[in-house]
Every structure is written in structure tokens, then in C-alpha cells.
Amino acid sequence: MPFRLAARLPLTFLTLAFALTFGAGCPSKRPPALATAQPGEGAGAAGADSRSHARTQPVEEGPDVRAIRGEGTSGSDIAGGGAAFSGEGGPLADIHFELDSAALSDEARATLEKHAAWLQSQRSAHVTIEGHCDERGTVEYNLALGEQRARAARDYLVSLGVAQNRLNIVSFGKERPLATGNDEAAWAQNRRAHFAVK
């Protein structure tokens, strides 16, 4: 394979300044760093182990995203971030799905019919229907599949007379499994629609 090499570069040196630190000269008033491990690097940056320090501080507000500045880091956890996770339980039971399917089984339809009756009796209740998948599919297609599962549940509830504006859908794909095992029992639990009642 031929390959080209440049010759006859000017012999004068180029002085090349790296801007290795940014915002140099600005006094640092960042929140404590939540530094991560630096594999293989013995000499960690100063303050590299401030994670526990940061966690013990009351954190009320902070950025969603921390700035990447030079080798330093800034930012802190936002208290209450990730709101709207429903947790488990609630008055409406989960329904379950076959592998790689958003089709409603007879059992799922029967459960949804009970949910529809409950919703008719609880006129002020709003429900977020979460579609979940087991861990064996791929990330992006599972997001689509979880969306299909939540939508199938919602559409059936609407067909039973529940007003659509009382029902939101959210796909979690395989990002938030209920059961963490690696067997069919765990996977079957994770292929579900969950009903979070507000």
C-alpha cells in the first residue's frame, strides 16, 4: 500500500498553546464536583473524591447538566429529579405481554375491563400507562415496543368508554425493569403495562 508522507516542513518550530484549562483566571465557585473514577490514573485531580461530600450537602437546585471545563467538573444532583416515577402497586393491576408483542391477551383484556369499571367509578382519576419491556430486546426498539404496549392498553380502555384525556402513555422500554433476574419469570414480569394513578 503506498502512503504519502509530507516532506520539507518549515524548520521553524510552531509554538502551540493548548488551552488545557478553561475559564482560567475566573475564581471557581462551582458546586462540589461529583468526580468519577479515573481508571489507571494515580494522580487524580484535586477534589476528585468529593462525591461523598457532595451527597451530604443539602441540594435544592442545580443545573440539569454540568459544565465540562478542562479537567474539572461541576454540577450537583437536583433533589426531586426524576419525579413522576410512579412506584409500584396502586389500585390497578399490571397487564402482561408475550415476548416481542404488544397484543392484548384475553387475560389482559379482562384486567383492562376491571380497570375501565374502576375508572368509571373514580371520575377524577388520571392514569399514566407505562409500557415496559424485558431486557432481552434492543434499547431503541424496546422503546417503540413499550410505546405500543402502553398504546394498546390505552386504546382498549378508550374503546370501553374511558375518556382519552384521562390517560397518558409513557414508554420505558427496557430502561426500568421491575424484576432484575435473568430468567423467564423475571422477564415475564417486566413485559407489562403499569397503571400509575394520580
Question: What residues between 76 and 135 interact with another protein by CB under 8 A?
Answer: 76-84, 99-100, 128
How many residues belong to the site for another protein (CB under 8 A)? 77
Residues 6-25 that bind another protein (CB under 8 A): 6-11, 13-24
Cα 157 to Cα 119: distance, rounded to the nearest angstrom: 9
Query: Smallest distance, Å, CB 29 to another protein?
Result: 9
Residues 130-169 that bind another protein (CB under 8 A): 136-141, 143-145, 147-148, 151, 168-169
Query: Smallest distance, Å, CB 110 to another protein?
Result: 26
Residue type at position 81: G
Query: Smallest distance, Å, CB 191 to another protein?
Result: 12
Look at residues 78, 77, 81, 74 and name the one whose alpha carbon lies nearest to residue 35.
74
Q: Which is nearer to another protein, 19 or 56 (CB)?
A: 19
Tell me which of 69, 90, 160, 179 binds another protein, using CB under 8 A. 69
> Per the structure block, which three cell numbers stand in for 166?
384521562
Distances (CA, A) of 44 to 27, 41, 97: 21, 6, 48
Cα 187 to Cα 33: distance, rounded to the nearest angstrom: 38
Q: Does 190 bind another protein (CB under 8 A)?
A: no
Q: Does 26 bind another protein (CB under 8 A)?
A: yes
Compute the CA torsion angle 157, 158, 164, 168 (nearest 10 deg).
30
Query: Smallest distance, Å, CB 94 to another protein?
Result: 18
Phi, psi of 168 (to 5 degrees): -105, 155
Q: Which is nearer to another protein, 110 or 185 (CB)?
A: 185
Tell me which of 70, 89, 91, 161 binds another protein, using CB under 8 A. 70
Q: Which is nearer to another protein, 63 or 117 (CB)?
A: 63
Region of 25 please: left (phi>0), alpha (psi -120 to 50) or beta.
left
169, 147 Cβ separation under 8 angstroms: yes
73, 35 Cβ separation under 8 angstroms: yes
Query: Smallest distance, Å, CB 161 to another protein?
Result: 20
